[in-house]
Homo-oligomer: A and B are copies of this chain.
Amino acid sequence: MTLQRYKLLIEYDGTPFCGWQRQDEDPSVQQTLEEAITAYCGQKVRVFGAGRTDSGVHATGQVAHIDLSGSHNAETLRNALNAHMRPLPVSVIQAEEVTADFDARFSARHRHYCYRILNRRAPPALDKNKVWWIKRELDHHAMQKAATVFIGQHDFTTFRAVQCQAKSPVRHLTRFELVAGGDRLEWHVSARSFLHHQVRSMVGTLKKVGEGFWTADDVRNALEARDRRACGPVAPPDGLYLTRVDYSEDDERAG
């Protein structure tokens, strides 16, 4: 029996889920997709994702791969999965056939996250659970300056969760940029891969800078301490979005 591998581009609202990964009790994005596949074609398959987002974290560009036996039109597959997942907030934006050497997680060359902040006194009415609401006015310039401390290759021990299972705490950040418009701020952060809670740990620490409690030097000292206890508060999951995963052309050639 031959298997065909499919690459899925996925959007989801992380609010009602325990995260990407299957857990025993709570509904996960992975389980939602796996159950939709079974409902569509009867096959029990595992869905492999590029990034294991935490509970409450969203995605506009998560990528996953699955192997199915038999021949399935990619558009039909996408539409069927979306129909079976209704009304849960998970949507397959695109499905395409790929070769068996494409791996959503291990072939990923670059991951992009966006962290959204609403910076005003009034709570969000339209973006509840979709932004980090910060009441105190933030100093954009100071935050952007401090963020440059993170760019490049560093030991991010300070900014990884205690339960992080990565072998090495060294990561290489290629982008850490603040885009502001009115009372809305977006952090754009890119790297080949991230440690567990890394983006939220860095964004939470930069909030201390924006509020005037920490300087860029304090952030540098925290990074150099290589000590989890030197980290600022961890930002809530609400504002975090996995927006894109890049692969080399070779990994994406049609099967």
**Chain A contact residues, CB within 8 Å of chain B:** 11-13, 58, 60, 75, 78-79, 82, 86, 89-94, 120-126, 128, 130
Q: Which residues of B contact A58 (CB under 8 A)?
A: 126
B79 lies within 8 A of A125 (CB) = no
CA distance A123 to B94 in the complex (A): 11
Task: Contacts A93-B120, A120-B93 given; indicate if A126 touches B79 (C-beta within 8 A).
Answer: no
Residues of chain B lying within 8 A (CB to CB) of residue A11: 122, 124-126
Nearest first, the 4 A-B pairs at minimum CB distance are A91-B125, A89-B125, A11-B125, A93-B122
- Complex Cα–Cα for A66 and B86 (A): 42
Complex-state Cα separation, A14 to B128, whole angstroms: 13
* Most B C-beta atoms less than 10 A away, residue of A82, A89, A92, A122: A122
* Least CB separation from A124: chain B residue: B91
Extra contacts, 20 of them, besides A13-B126, A75-B121 (Cβ < 8 A), are A11-B122, A11-B124, A11-B125, A12-B125, A12-B126, A58-B126, A60-B126, A78-B122, A79-B121, A82-B122, A82-B123, A86-B123, A91-B122, A91-B123, A91-B124, A91-B125, A92-B122, A93-B120, A93-B122, A94-B122
Known: A75-B121, A79-B121, A121-B79. A126 touches B89 (CB 8 A): yes
Residues on the B chain within 8 Å of A125, using CB: 11-13, 89-91
Assembled-state Cα–Cα distance A11/B58 (Å): 23
Contact indicator A121/B13 (Cβ below 8 Å): no
Q: Are A78 and B13 in contact (CB under 8 A)?
A: no
**Complex CA–CA separation, A78 to B122 (angstroms):** 8
A124 contacts which chain B residues (CB < 8 A)? Answer: 11, 91
Q: Are B126 and A78 in contact (CB-based, < 8 A)? A: no
In the complex, residue of chain B having the shortest beta-carbon distance to the beta carbon of A91: B125
Name the residue of chain B whose CB is nearest to the CB of A15.
Answer: B126
**Within 8 Å CB of A122, what residues of B?**
11, 78, 82, 91-94
- A126 CB contacts on chain B under 8 angstroms: 11-13, 58, 60, 89, 130
- State the Cβ distance, A184 to closest chain B Cβ, in Å: 11
